[in-house]
Amino acid sequence: MVSILKRGLAIIILLVIGYWLAQGLSGVPFGQDKMLVGQYYLNHVKQQTGAVNAVTAVVVNYRGFDTLGEVTVLFIASTGVGALLWGKNRKRTARTEGSVVLTTGTRLLVPFVILFGAYIFIHGHLTPGGGFPGGATIATAFLLLYMAFTMYEIPYKAFEKTEGIVGMGYVVVGLIGLAIGGYFLFDWIWQTWGWGHNNIGRLFSGGFIPVIYTIIGIKVGTELSGIIDNMLKEEVKE
C-alpha cells in the first residue's frame, strides 16, 4: 500500500512539473528569437568591456559576482579536503619513480605546460579559455611531477600564502569597483581610466578582465595543486 502511494505521489509531482514547463514554453513563440539578454551582450560587449571573447566578458564582467561564488566554492572544497586530513602525519610513501619516458618527458614538458596555462588565462579576453582552465592546466604540471618523482612535494606553505593573497586581490579589485562605480566588480580600468580603448583585440585591452583572470588562474592552480598534494599523500603510522 505504501509503495503504491509513493508511486502515485511521484506521478502527480511529475505531471505538475510537466504542466508547469509546458505553460512556460507555450509563451515562447515558435521560430522567434527571444534571446534578448544574450543579444544585448553580443551587441555591446566590445564597447562596454573591451573584450573580444563575449563568453569571458560575461563570466568576469557582467556576472563577476557569481564567479566570485564559484571561486569560493573551490576554496571551500580545498579547505574541506585539508580539514579531513588535518592533524595526521602524512607523507609520500611511493617507492619507485616513474619510467625513464615519464621522468624525462616531465622534465621537458612541465615548463611548457605551466607557460601554456598562463597563456590561457592571460589571453582569456581574446581567445577561448580563462582562469579556471588555465589554473587547471597549471595544476596538471604538478600532477606530472608527482607521478614522475617519488619524493617531490609542492611548497605547500608558499602555495597557501599565494592562494590567500590572490583571493584577497579578487575581492580588493571588486571593492574598488564598488567604491568608484557603485557596484561590486565595476570595471574601473575600462570605464573610468579608458585604458585599452584603442587596443581592442590586442593583449593590453579588456579592462580588468585580464587582471581578474590572472588572479583566478593563480588561485585555481594553487588550490588544485594543494588538493593533489593532499590526496596523494598517505597517513604514516608512528
In the chain, where the domains are located: 35-235
**Region 86-92 average pLDDT:** 64
What is d(CA 210, CA 56) in angstroms, rounded to the nearest whole number? Answer: 10
Question: Torsions phi, psi of 150, nearest 5?
Answer: -60, -45
Which span out of 5-14, 65-74, 133-142 was modeled with the highest average pLDDT?
A: 133-142
More confidently predicted of 30 and 73: 73
For residue 79, the surrounding DSSP H or E stretch is helix 64-84
Q: Is the pLDDT score of 175 beyond 80? A: yes
Could you tell me the three cell numbers for 187?
570595471
Do 94 and 152 meet the contact criterion of CB atoms below 8 Å apart?
A: no
Do 192 and 177 meet the contact criterion of CB atoms below 8 Å apart?
A: no
Q: Which of 209, 229, 112 is nearest to 160 (CA)?
A: 229
| Entry pTM | 0.73
Strands 234-235 and 90-91: antiparallel
Q: Confidence class of residue 118 from pLDDT cuts 50, 70 and 90?
A: very high
Q: Confidence class of residue 218 from pLDDT cuts 50, 70 and 90?
A: very high
Q: Confidence class of residue 223 from pLDDT cuts 50, 70 and 90?
A: confident
DSSP code string of 16-33: HHHHHHHHHHHTS-TT--
Residue 127: Cβ within 10 Å count: 13
More confidently predicted of 129 and 19: 19
Please report the pLDDT score of residue 119 as a whole number. Answer: 92
**Per-residue pLDDT tens digits for 195-205:** 666 777 777 78
Question: Torsions phi, psi of 117, nearest 5?
Answer: -60, -45
CA angle 143–170–55, rounded 5-degree value? 75
What is d(CA 46, CA 41) in angstroms, rounded to the nearest whole number? Answer: 9
More confidently predicted of 160 and 95: 160
